[in-house]
Amino acid sequence: MTATVCGSVSAASGDVTAVRQRLVRKSNANEVLVTAWKNVSATQHVTTVRWPVEHPFYMADADFYSPLLFTESVRQSLSMVTHTAFDIPLEHRLALDHFRTSVDCAALRRGTEPVELYLRTTHTRMERRRLGAARGSATVEVWRDAMPVGTAQIGYTASPPAIYDRLRGSEYANATEVCARTPAAPAAEEPLLVGRESARDVVLSPTGEQHRWLLRNDLTHPVLFDHPHDHVPGMVLMEAASQAAQAVLAPGRMLPVSLDTTFSRYVELDKPCWITAERLSTAVGWPQVNVTAVQDDRTAFTSTVTVAPIMRNWAALAA
């Protein structure tokens, strides 16, 4: 039996997991969420994602998944579609320009069995450029059974090695070398302040200043850094935004139900990156926090995080 991916990548059935790992860019097979995919049209594609009963990192508490598991599912689905439906070679590097998500908290309820979700990705733009580079925009709609889970809008680029290496320069093109000179992770912020149970899962380090942290990159983390990177992954930055928003609104436990994120520059692993957060004035709706990452005195990342308090009756609403 064989599994065919976009008519160009095939593997014996025993190697399908390895193929999926490469397509979603995860080294740990247990972190691969995408289980199936198909083309609906030239611009629309559906992927199936499975969430475990309990994820080792993306859990809000004992009853609810973290909204960042939704975000990671969208990221993996986009990677899968890009490499299969649009024939972007695996050697190309994907970079996010913007990533906007919105989730329904009730749909994040954890059950006693793994959860299967369906993601419909619709590309509104796919521009081919020189040397095989591409720029794309897509919207993603997600369902759990018949329940809408959330939506996402993404803008991204795909760069071939020749362009990416020139963009990153000799100092940063090699991920192994970058990781080797990356400093050890500094002390973690108090876990409960940022909505975490374990210091290992904290991506912020205290500075002694209110609402200002040093980005904490633990390269041994099995989920956030399951393979070498030449820069800080986007998922780490969005996790930092989520944790910073939680800290600003502490002590109540919050969920980042919406992130509106812009990636302006690569965030380097071997240089300090400062995370600041400020609560925005909102007359109605859930609280919002603006989070900014600055490195070398330049803004590298901004995210407006909308948060909602964890409410036990969400479970009843989702039942």
Counting residues of the chain whose pLDDT is more than 90, the rounded percentage is 80
Q: Is the pLDDT of residue 125 over 50?
A: yes
Q: Is the pLDDT of residue 316 over 50?
A: no
Q: Which of 144, 173, 202 is the last residue of a domain?
A: 173
Both structure tokens of 56: 């080792």
Task: Give residue-wise pLDDT tens across range 66-107.
Answer: 999 999 999 999 999 999 999 999 999 999 999 999 999 999
Q: Is the pLDDT of residue 269 over 60?
A: yes
Q: Residue 223 has what pLDDT?
A: 96
Distance CA 233, CA 43 (A): 27
Shared-domain flag, residues 54 and 116:
yes
Task: Give residue-wise pLDDT tens across range 213-241.
Answer: 999 999 999 999 999 999 999 999 999 99
Q: Residue 283 has what pLDDT?
A: 64
Shared-domain flag, residues 186 and 164:
no
Shared-domain flag, residues 109 and 233:
no
Q: Is the pLDDT of residue 276 over 80?
A: yes
Mean pLDDT of 119-137: 93
Q: Which of 124, 139, 173 is the last residue of a domain?
A: 173
Shared-domain flag, residues 28 and 169:
yes
Mean pLDDT of 286-308: 97
Shared-domain flag, residues 59 and 138:
yes
Shared-domain flag, residues 9 and 151:
yes
Please state whether the predicted TM-score (pTM) of the whole model is above 0.85.
yes
Give the number of domains in the chain: 2
Shared-domain flag, residues 154 and 255:
no
Q: Per the omega criterion (within 30 degrees of 0), is the bond before 287 cis? A: no
Mean pLDDT of 168-173: 92
Q: Is the pLDDT of residue 3 over 50?
A: no
At 16, the pLDDT band (50, 70, 90 cuts) reads low
Q: Residue 319 has what pLDDT?
A: 44
Q: Residue 82 has what pLDDT?
A: 94
Shared-domain flag, residues 4 and 78:
yes
At 8, the pLDDT band (50, 70, 90 cuts) reads very low
Shared-domain flag, residues 22 and 164:
yes
Q: Residue 282 has what pLDDT?
A: 76
Shared-domain flag, residues 52 and 94:
yes
CATH of the domain at 306: 3.10.129.10
Domain residue limits at 109: 1-173
Mean pLDDT of 292-305: 98
